[in-house]
Amino acid sequence: MSRFATRRLRNGLAGLLAMALLWTVVELRGLTMQDSGRLTGWLLVAALVVLGAYNLRKKLPVLPLGDSASWLQLHLYLGLVTALLFFLHGGWGLPDGPLEILLWGLVLGLLVTGIFGLALSRLAPAALTWHGERVIHERIPQLRRRLADEVEELVTRAVEETSSGTLAGYHVNVLKRYFARPRHRWYHLVRSKRPLRHLCREIEALKRYLGPGDRAVLDEIEARIVAKDNLDFQETWQGLLKGWLFLHVPLTYATLVMVPLHVVLAYAFGAGRP
Protein backbone atom coordinates (compact mmCIF):
# COMPACT_ATOMS: atom_id res chain seq x y z
CA MET A 1 0.00 0.00 0.00
CA SER A 2 1.35 3.43 -0.95
CA ARG A 3 2.12 6.11 1.61
CA PHE A 4 -0.78 8.22 0.34
CA ALA A 5 -3.23 5.32 0.59
CA THR A 6 -2.00 4.50 4.10
CA ARG A 7 -2.47 8.10 5.20
CA ARG A 8 -5.94 8.25 3.69
CA LEU A 9 -6.93 4.99 5.41
CA ARG A 10 -5.55 6.19 8.74
CA ASN A 11 -7.30 9.55 8.52
CA GLY A 12 -10.54 7.95 7.37
CA LEU A 13 -10.54 5.54 10.31
CA ALA A 14 -9.79 8.42 12.70
CA GLY A 15 -12.72 10.37 11.25
CA LEU A 16 -15.08 7.40 11.58
CA LEU A 17 -13.92 6.82 15.15
CA ALA A 18 -14.55 10.47 16.03
CA MET A 19 -18.03 10.31 14.49
CA ALA A 20 -18.86 7.09 16.33
CA LEU A 21 -17.63 8.58 19.61
CA LEU A 22 -19.70 11.73 19.16
CA TRP A 23 -22.80 9.74 18.30
CA THR A 24 -22.32 7.48 21.33
CA VAL A 25 -21.78 10.38 23.74
CA VAL A 26 -24.87 12.22 22.54
CA GLU A 27 -27.00 9.06 22.70
CA LEU A 28 -25.80 8.22 26.21
CA ARG A 29 -26.47 11.76 27.41
CA GLY A 30 -29.92 11.52 25.90
CA LEU A 31 -30.61 8.28 27.77
CA THR A 32 -29.66 9.97 31.04
CA MET A 33 -31.84 13.01 30.21
CA GLN A 34 -28.83 15.32 29.81
CA ASP A 35 -28.95 18.05 27.19
CA SER A 36 -26.11 17.83 24.66
CA GLY A 37 -26.81 21.19 23.08
CA ARG A 38 -23.94 23.06 24.69
CA LEU A 39 -21.46 20.25 24.06
CA THR A 40 -22.30 19.79 20.38
CA GLY A 41 -22.72 23.53 19.89
CA TRP A 42 -19.27 24.49 21.12
CA LEU A 43 -17.67 21.55 19.34
CA LEU A 44 -19.40 22.74 16.17
CA VAL A 45 -18.12 26.30 16.69
CA ALA A 46 -14.57 25.01 17.18
CA ALA A 47 -14.80 22.78 14.10
CA LEU A 48 -16.09 25.62 11.92
CA VAL A 49 -13.25 27.90 13.06
CA VAL A 50 -10.64 25.26 12.20
CA LEU A 51 -12.29 24.62 8.83
CA GLY A 52 -12.33 28.34 8.09
CA ALA A 53 -8.65 28.60 9.07
CA TYR A 54 -7.72 26.42 6.09
CA ASN A 55 -8.40 29.30 3.72
CA LEU A 56 -6.21 31.54 5.89
CA ARG A 57 -3.45 28.92 5.72
CA LYS A 58 -3.61 29.00 1.90
CA LYS A 59 -3.35 32.79 1.84
CA LEU A 60 -0.36 32.82 4.23
CA PRO A 61 1.86 29.93 3.10
CA VAL A 62 4.98 31.50 4.63
CA LEU A 63 3.73 31.04 8.19
CA PRO A 64 4.94 27.88 9.99
CA LEU A 65 1.47 26.38 10.27
CA GLY A 66 2.15 22.95 8.78
CA ASP A 67 2.14 21.79 5.18
CA SER A 68 -0.83 22.34 2.89
CA ALA A 69 -1.41 18.61 2.29
CA SER A 70 -1.91 17.96 6.01
CA TRP A 71 -4.28 20.90 6.27
CA LEU A 72 -6.27 19.61 3.32
CA GLN A 73 -6.61 16.17 4.92
CA LEU A 74 -7.72 17.79 8.18
CA HIS A 75 -10.19 19.96 6.29
CA LEU A 76 -11.73 16.99 4.47
CA TYR A 77 -12.19 14.65 7.42
CA LEU A 78 -13.07 17.34 9.93
CA GLY A 79 -15.69 18.49 7.43
CA LEU A 80 -17.36 15.07 7.61
CA VAL A 81 -17.25 15.12 11.42
CA THR A 82 -18.71 18.64 11.34
CA ALA A 83 -21.60 17.41 9.20
CA LEU A 84 -22.54 14.91 11.91
CA LEU A 85 -22.09 17.54 14.63
CA PHE A 86 -24.36 19.87 12.73
CA PHE A 87 -27.23 17.39 12.67
CA LEU A 88 -26.63 16.21 16.24
CA HIS A 89 -26.80 19.82 17.41
CA GLY A 90 -29.70 21.12 15.35
CA GLY A 91 -31.67 17.98 14.59
CA TRP A 92 -32.45 16.39 11.27
CA GLY A 93 -35.30 18.67 10.26
CA LEU A 94 -35.69 22.33 9.35
CA PRO A 95 -35.29 24.52 12.48
CA ASP A 96 -37.67 27.21 13.71
CA GLY A 97 -36.95 30.91 13.44
CA PRO A 98 -35.49 32.95 10.56
CA LEU A 99 -31.97 33.20 12.03
CA GLU A 100 -31.76 29.47 12.67
CA ILE A 101 -33.08 28.71 9.18
CA LEU A 102 -30.49 31.07 7.65
CA LEU A 103 -27.66 29.47 9.63
CA TRP A 104 -28.98 26.00 8.77
CA GLY A 105 -28.98 26.93 5.08
CA LEU A 106 -25.45 28.34 5.25
CA VAL A 107 -24.00 25.26 6.95
CA LEU A 108 -25.90 22.93 4.63
CA GLY A 109 -24.58 24.92 1.66
CA LEU A 110 -21.06 24.52 3.05
CA LEU A 111 -21.51 20.77 3.32
CA VAL A 112 -22.96 20.41 -0.19
CA THR A 113 -20.32 22.58 -1.87
CA GLY A 114 -17.60 20.86 0.15
CA ILE A 115 -18.72 17.41 -0.98
CA PHE A 116 -19.00 18.70 -4.55
CA GLY A 117 -15.47 20.11 -4.37
CA LEU A 118 -14.13 16.84 -2.96
CA ALA A 119 -15.73 14.84 -5.77
CA LEU A 120 -14.48 17.35 -8.34
CA SER A 121 -10.92 17.18 -7.02
CA ARG A 122 -10.99 13.42 -7.56
CA LEU A 123 -12.62 13.48 -11.02
CA ALA A 124 -11.02 16.51 -12.69
CA PRO A 125 -7.34 15.43 -12.85
CA ALA A 126 -8.21 12.17 -14.59
CA ALA A 127 -10.61 13.95 -16.97
CA LEU A 128 -8.05 16.62 -17.91
CA THR A 129 -5.38 14.01 -18.57
CA TRP A 130 -7.78 11.83 -20.57
CA HIS A 131 -8.76 14.53 -23.05
CA GLY A 132 -5.43 15.84 -24.26
CA GLU A 133 -2.76 18.41 -23.59
CA ARG A 134 -3.10 20.34 -20.34
CA VAL A 135 -3.38 24.09 -20.88
CA ILE A 136 -3.03 26.96 -18.40
CA HIS A 137 -6.56 28.20 -17.74
CA GLU A 138 -5.76 31.90 -18.13
CA ARG A 139 -4.26 31.32 -21.60
CA ILE A 140 -7.28 29.51 -23.05
CA PRO A 141 -9.16 32.60 -24.42
CA GLN A 142 -5.98 33.81 -26.14
CA LEU A 143 -5.32 30.39 -27.68
CA ARG A 144 -8.93 30.13 -28.84
CA ARG A 145 -8.71 33.51 -30.60
CA ARG A 146 -5.47 32.43 -32.26
CA LEU A 147 -7.13 29.28 -33.62
CA ALA A 148 -10.08 31.31 -34.92
CA ASP A 149 -7.73 33.73 -36.68
CA GLU A 150 -5.75 30.88 -38.22
CA VAL A 151 -8.91 29.22 -39.55
CA GLU A 152 -10.16 32.49 -41.02
CA GLU A 153 -6.79 33.04 -42.67
CA LEU A 154 -6.81 29.52 -44.12
CA VAL A 155 -10.30 29.95 -45.54
CA THR A 156 -9.56 33.40 -46.96
CA ARG A 157 -6.42 32.16 -48.69
CA ALA A 158 -8.22 29.11 -50.08
CA VAL A 159 -11.09 31.22 -51.44
CA GLU A 160 -8.63 33.61 -53.10
CA GLU A 161 -6.77 30.74 -54.74
CA THR A 162 -9.68 28.49 -55.77
CA SER A 163 -12.80 30.71 -55.53
CA SER A 164 -14.45 27.97 -53.46
CA GLY A 165 -17.89 29.08 -52.37
CA THR A 166 -18.45 25.78 -50.54
CA LEU A 167 -15.57 26.34 -48.12
CA ALA A 168 -16.51 29.99 -47.61
CA GLY A 169 -20.12 29.05 -46.86
CA TYR A 170 -19.09 26.36 -44.37
CA HIS A 171 -16.88 28.88 -42.59
CA VAL A 172 -19.68 31.44 -42.31
CA ASN A 173 -22.39 28.95 -41.30
CA VAL A 174 -20.45 26.61 -38.99
CA LEU A 175 -16.80 27.36 -38.29
CA LYS A 176 -17.07 31.03 -37.37
CA ARG A 177 -19.70 30.30 -34.75
CA TYR A 178 -17.80 27.27 -33.44
CA PHE A 179 -14.57 29.20 -32.88
CA ALA A 180 -16.26 32.33 -31.50
CA ARG A 181 -16.70 31.05 -27.94
CA PRO A 182 -16.65 27.87 -25.79
CA ARG A 183 -19.01 25.18 -27.01
CA HIS A 184 -20.61 21.94 -25.81
CA ARG A 185 -19.97 22.40 -22.08
CA TRP A 186 -22.50 19.75 -21.05
CA TYR A 187 -20.93 17.20 -23.38
CA HIS A 188 -17.50 18.02 -21.95
CA LEU A 189 -18.79 17.52 -18.41
CA VAL A 190 -19.77 13.93 -19.24
CA ARG A 191 -16.57 13.44 -21.27
CA SER A 192 -18.46 12.93 -24.52
CA LYS A 193 -16.79 13.55 -27.89
CA ARG A 194 -20.04 13.34 -29.80
CA PRO A 195 -20.03 17.00 -31.04
CA LEU A 196 -16.39 16.68 -32.15
CA ARG A 197 -17.11 13.47 -34.05
CA HIS A 198 -20.10 15.16 -35.71
CA LEU A 199 -17.92 18.04 -36.93
CA CYS A 200 -15.25 15.66 -38.19
CA ARG A 201 -17.88 13.71 -40.14
CA GLU A 202 -19.10 16.98 -41.68
CA ILE A 203 -15.53 17.78 -42.72
CA GLU A 204 -15.13 14.37 -44.35
CA ALA A 205 -18.44 14.74 -46.19
CA LEU A 206 -17.47 18.21 -47.40
CA LYS A 207 -14.20 16.96 -48.86
CA ARG A 208 -16.11 15.04 -51.55
CA TYR A 209 -17.18 18.34 -53.13
CA LEU A 210 -13.75 20.00 -53.08
CA GLY A 211 -10.56 19.80 -55.05
CA PRO A 212 -7.21 18.59 -53.69
CA GLY A 213 -6.11 22.06 -52.57
CA ASP A 214 -9.26 22.75 -50.57
CA ARG A 215 -9.17 19.26 -49.06
CA ALA A 216 -5.68 19.99 -47.75
CA VAL A 217 -7.01 23.21 -46.21
CA LEU A 218 -9.83 21.25 -44.58
CA ASP A 219 -7.27 18.89 -43.04
CA GLU A 220 -5.57 21.88 -41.42
CA ILE A 221 -8.91 23.25 -40.26
CA GLU A 222 -9.87 19.88 -38.79
CA ALA A 223 -6.67 19.85 -36.72
CA ARG A 224 -7.65 23.24 -35.31
CA ILE A 225 -11.18 22.04 -34.60
CA VAL A 226 -9.72 19.22 -32.49
CA ALA A 227 -7.39 21.67 -30.72
CA LYS A 228 -10.27 24.02 -29.98
CA ASP A 229 -12.37 21.14 -28.64
CA ASN A 230 -9.56 20.38 -26.19
CA LEU A 231 -9.44 24.03 -25.11
CA ASP A 232 -13.20 23.97 -24.45
CA PHE A 233 -12.86 20.76 -22.46
CA GLN A 234 -9.97 22.15 -20.41
CA GLU A 235 -11.84 25.40 -19.76
CA THR A 236 -14.97 23.56 -18.64
CA TRP A 237 -13.22 21.36 -16.09
CA GLN A 238 -10.63 23.88 -14.92
CA GLY A 239 -13.39 26.47 -14.61
CA LEU A 240 -15.29 24.11 -12.32
CA LEU A 241 -12.19 23.53 -10.22
CA LYS A 242 -11.80 27.27 -9.74
CA GLY A 243 -15.47 28.25 -9.73
CA TRP A 244 -16.84 26.06 -6.93
CA LEU A 245 -14.63 27.95 -4.45
CA PHE A 246 -16.52 31.14 -5.30
CA LEU A 247 -19.48 29.48 -3.57
CA HIS A 248 -17.69 27.57 -0.83
CA VAL A 249 -15.44 30.36 0.49
CA PRO A 250 -18.14 33.09 0.78
CA LEU A 251 -20.41 30.57 2.51
CA THR A 252 -17.58 29.90 4.97
CA TYR A 253 -17.19 33.57 5.84
CA ALA A 254 -20.95 34.12 6.07
CA THR A 255 -21.26 31.15 8.44
CA LEU A 256 -18.40 32.40 10.63
CA VAL A 257 -20.18 35.76 10.88
CA MET A 258 -23.54 34.21 11.77
CA VAL A 259 -22.25 31.73 14.37
CA PRO A 260 -21.33 34.32 17.06
CA LEU A 261 -24.72 35.98 16.62
CA HIS A 262 -26.40 32.60 17.06
CA VAL A 263 -24.35 31.94 20.22
CA VAL A 264 -25.23 35.31 21.75
CA LEU A 265 -28.94 34.93 21.03
CA ALA A 266 -28.99 31.33 22.24
CA TYR A 267 -27.55 32.30 25.62
CA ALA A 268 -29.50 35.55 25.85
CA PHE A 269 -32.81 33.74 25.45
CA GLY A 270 -31.75 30.83 27.65
CA ALA A 271 -31.76 28.25 24.89
CA GLY A 272 -29.03 26.43 26.70
CA ARG A 273 -26.96 25.71 23.62
CA PRO A 274 -25.00 27.88 21.14
> What would the pLDDT profile of 100-159 be if each residue is shown by its tens digit?
899 889 988 998 999 899 889 888 888 888 887 888 989 999 999 999 999 999 999 888
Are 81 and 18 spatial neighbours (Cβ–Cβ below 8 Å)? yes
pLDDT at 274: 41
pLDDT digits (tens, 9 = 90+) for 81-101: 888 888 888 777 888 888 889
pTM of full prediction above 0.95: no
User: Helix or strand or coil: residue 193?
Assistant: coil
224 belongs to a structural domain: yes
Give yes or no: residues 124 and 252 share one domain.
yes
Any idea which of 33-47, 59-73, 84-98 has the lowest mean pLDDT?
A: 59-73
Nearest-CA neighbor of 117 among 250, 254, 241? 241
As a whole number, mean pLDDT of residues 158-186 equals 88
Give yes or no: residues 143 and 236 share one domain.
yes
pLDDT digits (tens, 9 = 90+) for 223-273: 999 999 999 999 999 999 888 889 998 998 999 899 898 888 888 876 444
274 belongs to a structural domain: no
pLDDT at 61: 65
Query: What integer best gives the mean pLDDT of the chain?
Result: 85
Based on the number of CB atoms within 10 Å of its own CB, is 149 exposed (0-12), middle (13-18) or buried (19 or more)? exposed
Give yes or no: residues 119 and 250 share one domain.
yes
273 belongs to a structural domain: no
CA pair distance 93, 115, nearest whole angstrom: 20
**For residue 56, is pLDDT > 80?**
no
At 63, is the pLDDT very low, low, confident or very high (cuts 50, 70, 90)? low
188 belongs to a structural domain: yes
As a whole number, mean pLDDT of residues 174-199 equals 93
Nearest-CA neighbor of 90 among 24, 33, 36, 32? 36
Give yes or no: residues 225 and 187 share one domain.
yes
CA pair distance 21, 10, nearest whole angstrom: 16
DSSP-assigned letter for residue 269:
T
Percent of the chain's residues with pLDDT above 70: 94
Give yes or no: residues 126 and 248 share one domain.
yes
CA pair distance 104, 110, nearest whole angstrom: 10
Overall residue count recorded for the chain in this entry = 274
pLDDT at 145: 96
pLDDT at 4: 64
pLDDT at 97: 81
Give yes or no: residues 116 and 187 share one domain.
no
Residue 150 belongs to domain spanning = 137-240
pLDDT at 52: 84
Give yes or no: residues 86 and 144 share one domain.
no
64 belongs to a structural domain: yes
Give yes or no: residues 195 and 260 share one domain.
no
pLDDT at 272: 44
Give yes or no: residues 117 and 230 share one domain.
no
Backbone angles phi, psi at 269, to 5 degrees: -100, 10
Residue with the bigger pLDDT between 31 and 218: it is 218
Give yes or no: residues 87 and 168 share one domain.
no
The set of residues, in sequence order, having a beta carbon less than 8 Å from that of 89 and lying 6+ positions away, is: 36, 37, 40, 41, 44, 273
Give yes or no: residues 71 and 184 share one domain.
no
As a whole number, mean pLDDT of residues 27-55 equals 82
CA pair distance 118, 84, nearest whole angstrom: 17
pLDDT at 267: 81
At 201, is the pLDDT very low, low, confident or very high (cuts 50, 70, 90)? very high
259 belongs to a structural domain: yes
| Backbone angle region of 272, left / alpha / beta, with phi > 0 → left and psi within -120 to 50 → alpha | left
88 belongs to a structural domain: yes
Are 194 and 187 spatial neighbours (Cβ–Cβ below 8 Å)? yes
Count up the domains in the chain and report the number.
2
Give yes or no: residues 117 and 216 share one domain.
no
CA pair distance 251, 257, nearest whole angstrom: 10
CA pair distance 146, 142, nearest whole angstrom: 6
Please give the distance of CA 109 from its chain centroid, rounded to a whole number.
Answer: 14
CA pair distance 246, 92, nearest whole angstrom: 27
